[in-house]
Amino acid sequence: MEIKEQQFRIQGLALSDLAQKYGTPLYVYDGEKILQQVEKLKTAFSEVTMRIKYATKALSNINILKLMKKAGTGVDAVSIEEIKLCMHVGFQPQEIMYTPNCVSFEEIKEAVELGVMVNIDNIPMLEHFGTEYGNTVPLCVRLNPHILAGGNAKISVGHIDSKFGISILQLKHVLRIVEAYNLNVIGLHVHTGSDILDAEVFLKGAEILFDAAKEFKDLRFLDFGGGFKVAYKIGDITTDIHEIGKKVSNAFKTFCKEYGRELELWFEPGKFLVSECGYLLVKTNVVKSTPATTFVGVDSGLNHLLRPMMYDAYHDVVNISKLDGPERVYTLVGYICETDTIAADRKLKEVKEGDIIAIKNAGAYGYSMASNYNSRLRPAEILLFRGKDFLIRERESFEDILRNQPMVDLE
């Protein structure tokens, strides 16, 4: 009984029980945590008219989208498929922002026909848009302010070499196109990258956007993208959302006064809303010692959680099968035939074969980046809500791997 009390619990449910009930590897999401994060953001920006457009790509299970809808957010989609997922869940086209990069104009047209607002991120598409729609369809323009932010080159999207957005240095060109086609630009957007630490980076982006905004007459909103950092390990510096809220709101109110109209302030957080809610539960297949290292080899890998290898991301790990006793240093690795270190040199309670390890902060860019590499099956997903566990995605089966692969006659 006492051991039971010590178990890693979320909403009263023990993660080890969930691993037993559904098997591993298993993604588990704490729905209440998501709602708390939404509220936190709303509270921080309560002084202005703020709209949240959840970045669908972070975690796109339709039940997570449904929870966002329940929490009153809109969504940001980066592909026509994400738009369709959001509409499937019941989001109205006007609640969806479409922020594509390097997609065809056909796809942009499809989004317009669905009634979704498009955020244009290059000059050729802006001209196509003008030719096709003139001033009949409102749009947003994505600018790149060239601010360096973010913890990793791959997630810093504001720098000068970045493929994202229209360079702020090309603003004059944008304005000429807007004038030539009489474009109805109702929003301006910047997204400088993930892992933004402090209010100053946001404010720097804001100042540049405010300056540009003065050149557009019909704006209704300014969109500051996503990128709020969350804590990945104890002691991590995280975005002080209340400080950002206060400072950005003040700057925004001052700008609106100058602009002569109350605008809406939009954000598109992904990680901030869904990172901490997620746990990837994996089972220890083998504890393998080499002269240098003790490896814990688990039944998952970069096929299910790419972030450690792709972004050098740090994920806290816990042996939930053993919550007391001595600790030892381990390196947690996957079963993929590729170096797929999940966590290097970490202290864990002594690990035995069969022990369940919880990988934390696995909600954002976990399942959504998962693949079938090594012909492995993708995990099931569980949503915990109001003390109950819901299966929100079946574990894949071998039939799923074979699907769409017709066997052709090579004779």
Q: What residues line the site for ligand PLP (CB under 6 A)? A: 55, 57-58, 76, 78, 99, 191, 194, 225-228, 268-272, 364
**Within 10 Å of residue 28's Cβ, how many Cβ atoms?**
25
Comparing CB distances to ligand PLP, the nearer of 13 and 166 is: 166
DSSP character for 72? T
Rounded CA gap, 370 and 376, in Å?
10
Pick 20 or 238: Cβ nearer ligand PLP: 238
* Of 30, 17, 59, 24, residue with least CA distance to 281: 24
Least Å distance between CB 102 and ligand PLP? 12
- Asked if residues 14 and 368 have their Cβ atoms less than 8 Å apart, the reply is no
Q: How far is the CB of 311 from ligand PLP (least distance, A)?
A: 11
Minimum CB separation of residue 80 from ligand PLP in Å reads 15
26 or 273: whose CB is closer to ligand PLP?
Answer: 273
Q: How far is the CB of 232 from ligand PLP (least distance, A)?
A: 13
Is residue 176 a known part of a binding site?
no
Query: Least CB distance from residue 147 to ligand PLP, whole Å?
Result: 14
Nearer to ligand PLP, 239 or 319 (CB): 239
Is 365 labelled as part of a ligand binding site?
A: yes
Q: How far is CA 84 from CA 62, 93, 212, 368, in A?
A: 11, 10, 32, 16
28/10 Cα distance (integer angstroms):
10
- The residue from 86, 256, 277, 337 that is catalytic is 337
Burial classification of residue 27, based on how many CB atoms lie within 10 Å of its CB (0-12 exposed, 13-18 middle, 19 or more buried): buried
Closest CA to 127 of 146, 110, 141, 116: 141
Residue 397 beta carbon to ligand PLP: minimum distance, rounded to whole angstroms = 30
Residue 269, Cβ neighbours under 10 Å: how many? Answer: 28
Alpha carbon distance 111, 113 (integer Å): 5
HSE at residue 267, side-chain half, CA atoms within 13 A, is: 27
Helix (H, G, I), strand (E, B) or coil at 258: helix
| Amino acid at residue number 349 | K
The smaller minimum CB distance to ligand PLP, of residues 30 and 76, is found at 76
* Residue 97 CB neighbours (<10 A): 26
337 annotated active-site: yes
CA distance 347 to 340: 18
Q: Which is nearer to ligand PLP, 205 or 225 (CB)?
A: 225
Q: Least distance to ligand PLP from the beta carbon of 99, Å? A: 4
List the structure tokens of 309: 């290898």
Left (φ > 0), alpha (ψ -120 to 50) or beta: where does 200 sit?
Answer: alpha
Of 142 and 346, nearer to ligand PLP (C-beta) is 142
Q: Degrees (nearest 5) of the Cα angle 147, 153, 156?
A: 35
SS3 content of the chain, % helix, strand, coil (to 5): 35, 25, 40
What is the distance between the terminal CA atoms of the chain, rounded to a whole angstrom? 65
| Residue from 179, 395, 190 nearest 304 by CA | 395
Residue 307 annotated as binding site: yes
Binding-site residues from annotation: 227, 307, 311, 338, 365
Binding-site residues from annotation for substrate: 307, 311, 338, 365
Q: Give catalytic residue positions.
A: 337
